[in-house]
Amino acid sequence: MPEYSLQLENLSKTYGHKDEENFVCALKDLSLNVNEGTFFGLLGPNGAGKSTLINILAGLVIKSKGVVKVQGFNQDRQIRSFKRSIGVVPQETNFDPFLTPYESLDIQAGLYGVKKKDRRINHILKKLGLETKANAYMRSLSGGMRRRLLIGKALVHNPKVIILDEPTAGVDIELREMLWSYMKELNANGTTIILTTHYLEEAESLCDQIAILDDGELIAYSNTRELIDRINLKIVHIKYNGILKKNFTLPKNISIKEHENKRISISYNKNDLKTDELINFFRSKKLEILDLSTEEPDLADVFKLLVKKSNS
Ligand code: ADP
């Protein structure tokens, strides 16, 4: 059994010619290992290189340099095993209008060499809530149903690694929930799930490992909880009574945001200051604290902090 589902070794991708104006280095010597059975989130701002990486894995974009392995199979040398190990759910929805969902999945299974007796078309249609549409014309399917079918097409050969590119962008809550419960079930059975998403809350709740790409480089890769804990940010919301002076200077790297009705939010580093000290500071300024609540940082805070840092 391979230890890693995905291995990237010094992966680079450039678009255009070096001397030309439109030359872009979309992935820069990227190295990364994803353990088998992980629910892995690949995040990054627009232009970071996420689609380039997913398209390389899907065989739609040719890498410039480096090694890509899935389940230990080298993309250049063990092409068939590589392709059988991976199922990619793309963003776009291109379908043959003359096929029904059943036929579409059946043909896809055939392309992957899945024997007739091993095909699980009805099972997949049922899992995706498409069983009543199995024999419907493609043009009668809604946008959401077509997206479900795309997911089905990536699953017909029972891949060990599933890659989802922005799977819930613009889809309704029902589809989102259905998709995640299906992916969780597959992950619980040992399938590695790799996804890109703009919904950081979604990544935080689903993924056990997170990598952040920025400008073609990996700027963070860690266990989700550790990544959030690492930033040591603390946010305190206070409702006060008294007069907050305009030239109010706060100790040690604290930032303050004023809201309506004498409410403020204060952000600081947990290592620099204790909540006690903050309260004492307020009292020394003759401000009475009427209400206080604390907020733990989330993945969105980590993202903002790291992406900003690497751009500064
Ligand atoms: P993301 O998916 O994170 O938004 P992309 O992989 O789409 O990032 O893009 C990474 C960089 O590569 C960007 O600067 C983008 O403009 C460039 N790029 C992507 N695809 C192409 C292409 N086909 N031709 C030229 N440049 C491209």
Q: What percent of the chain has pLDDT over 90?
A: 58
Contacting residues for 304 by C-beta, under 8 A, at least 6 apart: none
What is the reported pLDDT for 18? Answer: 85
Name the residue with the closest Cα to ligand 1, atom 7: 51
Residue 20's pLDDT is 84
Provide the whole-model pTM: 0.84
Ligand 1 center to 141 CA (angstroms)? 31
pLDDT tens track for 202-247:
899 999 999 999 999 999 999 998 888 887 888 899 999 988 776 6
All domains of the chain in start order, with CATH: 38-59+86-228 (3.40.50.300), 232-296 (3.30.70)
Residue nearest ligand 1's atom 15 by CA: 47
Distance 23 CA to ligand 1 centre (A): 11
Give 27 Cα–ligand 1 centroid separation in angstroms: 9
DSSP state of 250: P
Closest Cα to atom 14, ligand 1: which residue? 47
Q: What is the pLDDT of residues 270-311, one digit of tens each?
A: 888 888 888 888 888 888 999 999 888 888 888 888 886 555
Question: Which residue has the least CA distance to atom 5 on ligand 1?
Answer: 49
Region of residue 262 (phi > 0: left; psi between -120 and 50: alpha; otherwise: beta): left
CA-closest residue to ligand 1 atom 13: 47
pLDDT digit string (tens) for 135-174? Answer: 998 888 888 888 889 999 999 999 999 999 988 877 788 8
Backbone angles phi, psi at 238, to 5 degrees: -130, 135
Which residue's CA is minimally distant from atom 16 of ligand 1?
47
Is pLDDT at 2 greater than 70 in this prediction? no
Q: Is 98 exposed, middle or buried (0-12, 13-18, 19+ CB in 10 A)?
A: exposed
Which residues line ligand 1 at a C-beta cut-off of 6 Å? 15, 24, 26, 44, 46-52
* Mean pLDDT, all residues of the chain: 89
Q: For residue 222, which phi and psi values (nearest 5 degrees)?
A: -165, 170
Report CA(48)–ligand 1 centroid distance (Å): 8
Query: What type of residue sits at position 237?
Result: H
Amino acid identity of 40?
F
Tokens of residue 277, six digits: 């000290």
Which DSSP string do the residues of 270-291 spell out, in sequence order?
TTT--HHHHHHHHHHTT-EEEE
State the closest ligand 1 atom to the C-alpha of 55, by its place in the atom list counted from 1: 6
Q: How far is the CA of 172 from the centre of ligand 1 (A)?
A: 27
